[in-house]
Amino acid sequence: MGLLDGKTALVTGAARGIGKAIALKFASEGANIAFTDLMIDENAENTVKEIEAMGVKAKGYASNAANFEDTAKVVAQINADFGRIDILVNNAGITRDGLMMRMSEQQWDMVINVNLKSAFNFIHACTPVMMRQRAGSIINMASVVGVHGNAGQANYAASKAGMIALAKSIAQELGSRGIRANAIAPGFILTDMTAALSDEVRAEWSKKIPLRRGGTPEDVANIATFLASDMSSYVSGQVIQVDGGMNM
């Protein structure tokens, strides 16, 4: 028996990286998986096949998480296709780093819209479904920089701090309807997002990590599985750092 048997999970931005690892781990615990990404290309179709190979239902949907109307449409379609939504993981995210002095309005708006407004869009569209079910688990992908801040990432850090406050607020607002909301704050995780960083920046990060390694997407997926499952049935409004003990 899997921890998520009979549940349907919706994961945003899951064609690759942490979102994909979460989708695969959830599927291995018995959940049916609906995921979104900007494009459902060959790579995303391969992700669908990998999930299906675990014996669950899976489908990828092309949708821009930052767009309110797009999100309402895709959530209605997923609810029609799967019949329920038990778990929502707001994972889609981007970086557009730069020091404040040089940050453009576009850099700020893009990161806030893709990282934070997207979570509003999905929570807004999914909570009526969860309220009817009188159950649901919402997981916002934040970051350690949303807890501590980070020079050169004011836009990203602010968006991730917003993800934490959003989860805490939803936990208070919808707890009486059986809906839990939590945030995960990963540290330095080895994905395409961090592969883009210079060797110098990567070396600097790893010095700060007591466990002396970058995290894997699976390290994050394990905590997401705990928060998605009934193992965490009395946990809501929390932020869990998955960062190898890093003290920024």
Catalytic residue, chosen from 108, 122, 156, 188, is 156
Q: Which of 24, 56, 114, 228 binds ligand NAI (CB under 6 A)?
A: 114
Q: Quote the CA–CA distance of 22 and 83 in Å, as a whole number.
A: 21
- Asked if 187 contacts 145 with a C-beta cutoff of 8 angstroms, the reply is no
Binding mask of the shown chain, residues 168 to 187, with x at each position contacting ligand NAI by CB under 6 A: ------------------x-
Instruction: Please choose, out of 72-80, 88-96, 169-177, 223-231, the segment that lies near ligand NAI by the rule CB under 6 A.
Output: 88-96
Show the CA angle centred on residue 247, arms to residues 154 and 12, nearest 5°. Answer: 55
Contact between 66 and ligand NAI per CB under 6 A: yes
Task: Based on the residue annotation, tell me whether 234 is a catalytic residue of this protein.
Answer: no
Q: Quote the CA–CA distance of 211 and 172 in Å, as a whole number.
A: 34
Show the CA angle centred on residue 190, arms to residues 189 and 193, nearest 5°. Answer: 90
Which of 36/127 has CB closer to ligand NAI? 36
What is the nearest approach in angstroms of ligand NAI to the Cβ of residue 242? 9
Q: Quote the CA–CA distance of 237 and 82 in Å, as a whole number.
A: 27
Q: Quote the CA–CA distance of 248 and 246 in Å, as a whole number.
A: 6
Catalytic residues: 156
Residue numbers at the binding site for ligand NAI (CB under 6 A): 12-13, 15-19, 36-38, 64-66, 91-94, 114, 141, 143, 186, 188-189, 191-194
